[in-house]
Amino acid sequence: MDLLAADAPPPPTPHTGGLLTLIDGTAGLLTVAALGIALLLFLIIRVRLQPFVALLAVSIAVGLAAGLSVTELFGTVQKSAATSVIETGMGGILGHVAIIIGLGTMLGAILEVSGGAEVLSHRLLHLFGERRAPLAMGLTGLIFGIPVFFDVGIFVLAPLVYAAAKRSGKSILLYAMPLLAGLSMTHAFLPPHPGPVAAAGLLKVSLGWVIVMGVAVGLPAVLAAWVYAAWIGKRVFVPVPQDMLEAAEDAKAAVAADRRGTDEAPVSLVTVLTIIGTPLVLILAATFSSITLDPSPLRSVIEFFGNPFTALTIALLLAYYLLGIRRGWTRKSLESVSTASLKPVGNILLVVGAGGVFGAVLKASGVAQALSDTFHGIGLPVIVLAYLISLVLRVAQGSATVAIVTTAGIVLPLLDGAGHSQPFLALVIMAISAGSIFASHVNDGGFWMVAKYFGISERDTLKSWTVLESVLSLAGFAVAAGLSLAV
């Protein structure tokens, strides 16, 4: 899947005549790279600059310092056939990622508003019983987390955690941590979430292989996280936050009153699972048809329906009909829910696009090649380097998305032209994603969301959530590294 424009500037030798060229040669380019990353962290952590602006500013600074000319970076006023590095980096990644994230976001919103999450959790709670309610909450997070963002999953599913903890009288951690582990696993490792989709776009990996390796890596990792969740949930007691419980009950009563007298049919669990599973099955079918089938009309049909754009569009249309129109929703309601869901996506897409610009600047200026030569000289496997770089960026500045897109741009030259298979590249993405969730702490918005939604003190959040994320990260990387030896 070639996501970068065909006329992108080829990786040149190090520049020496740019506007702000500071140092020449490999050592100079490495210095520029180190200073660029340090500047990025400084702008995000200390200056509190928006990550999109910080990435864009650092990309420009690195490009000029490494020797790219203003024309190469920005193009000319009179547009020619050549595309500027910034346009290539931004457009190349967003042309693929924006569509997938947009469709996936709307799909998740319809599932959320229709009550699909509540149906899923209640059925699982009934199936597993009260004794295994933490496992049911974990599976709810795992399944419902596929189409919805992490923060949306917390917002929708937190009331179910409150209710389960209130009934049992046990620590809310016993129910919240498995749920959070499931949501975090899907957010880190599986499309259509921004991190793995952005990395797949930058490294040109089929989303089918990302799904396969995401499941292979994510399931063992989330099992390890669930073990820790069960352990910490029995040792740290956190009561249900009464204010959040009362707010959830008031909201539930308001929704019930609003729907009273309507003929809206209940959501079927089979319907929810079908809608969530449809794009995954179609994308996987297309991936494996390209391996097992010779070119033929049948293979073309399978690959058409299994293209991520087509597969997610089909799933969204199914959701519109099965969860909306068939249950009495108007077309205006569907439009309103879909439009509202896209409002928070703008920031994510801009950060991903700026990450694409950063990667394009590294490549065009020769910094990426200098980094590649140096990393090869270190002798560490690329999958280990990818994990460590992502981990350091995550711990330093808090944003998983920034860690992923920045790391993908840095490791891209180590993979270009090396003849790695798609499964191996997908495992590198898993390593990057695993590093991006390590040790969520006070510089991560997710840390405060978990603490406030579930009424956990900062100290207990560090003991529970921060360690849970680290277990998920380390276990995911261990599985990815092990599998990389066999592909």
pLDDT score at 257: 52
pLDDT score at 37: 87
Residue 380 clears pLDDT 70, i.e. is over it: yes
pLDDT score at 123: 87
Distance CA 29, CA 370 (A): 7
Confidence grade of residue 18 (pLDDT, cut at 50, 70, 90): very low
pLDDT score at 245: 67
Mean local confidence (pLDDT), 393-411: 89
pLDDT score at 2: 34
Mean local confidence (pLDDT), 144-156: 90
Note the pLDDT tens digit of each residue in 430-444: 999 999 999 999 888
Is 342 within 8 Å of 102 (Cβ atoms)? yes
34, burial (CB in 10 Å: exposed 0-12, middle 13-18, buried 19+): exposed
pLDDT score at 310: 95
Residue 331 clears pLDDT 80, i.e. is over it: yes
Mean local confidence (pLDDT), 323-348: 88
pLDDT score at 253: 58
pLDDT score at 247: 66
Distance CA 485, CA 381 (A): 11
Report percent pLDDT > 90 for the chain: 50
pLDDT score at 254: 54
- If you average pLDDT over every residue of the chain, what do you get? 86
Note the pLDDT tens digit of each residue in 54-92: 999 999 999 999 888 888 888 766 555 457 888 888 888
pLDDT score at 220: 97
* Tokens matching residue 210: 């990302």
| 3 state DSSP class of 293 | coil
Q: Please give the residue that has the higher pLDDT: either 29 or 275.
A: 275
Mean local confidence (pLDDT), 479-486: 96
pLDDT score at 384: 95
Helices (H), 260-399: 269-292, 297-306, 308-319, 331-342, 345-365, 367-378, 382-397
What Cα–Cα distance (Å) separates residue 366 from each residue in 30, 149, 362, 413, 427?
A: 10, 36, 6, 10, 26
Note the pLDDT tens digit of each residue in 252-309: 555 455 444 455 667 888 999 999 999 999 999 999 998 888 999 999 999 999 999 9
pLDDT score at 112: 84
pLDDT score at 9: 42
| 3 state DSSP class of 416 | coil
pLDDT score at 125: 86
Lowest mean pLDDT among 9-23, 143-157, 253-267: 9-23
- Single out the residue of 482, 435, 476, 401 nearest to residue 198, CA to CA: 401
Lowest mean pLDDT among 143-147, 151-155, 244-248: 244-248
Q: What single DSSP character describes residue 463?
A: I
pLDDT score at 12: 45
Note the pLDDT tens digit of each residue in 215-256: 999 999 999 999 999 999 999 999 988 777 666 666 555 545
* Tokens matching residue 465: 């959530």
pLDDT score at 6: 34
pTM of the complete model: 0.85
Distance CA 14, CA 22 (A): 12
Is 185 within 8 Å of 143 (Cβ atoms)? no
Largest Cα span, the chain: 75
Note the pLDDT tens digit of each residue in 168-187: 999 999 999 999 999 999 99
Could you tell me what percentage of the chain is helix, strand and coil, using 3-state DSSP and rounding each to the nearest 5? 75, 0, 25
pLDDT score at 232: 96
pLDDT score at 252: 57
Is 70 within 8 Å of 369 (Cβ atoms)? no
* Tokens matching residue 342: 């896209």
pLDDT score at 78: 59
Note the pLDDT tens digit of each residue in 452-468: 889 999 999 999 999 99
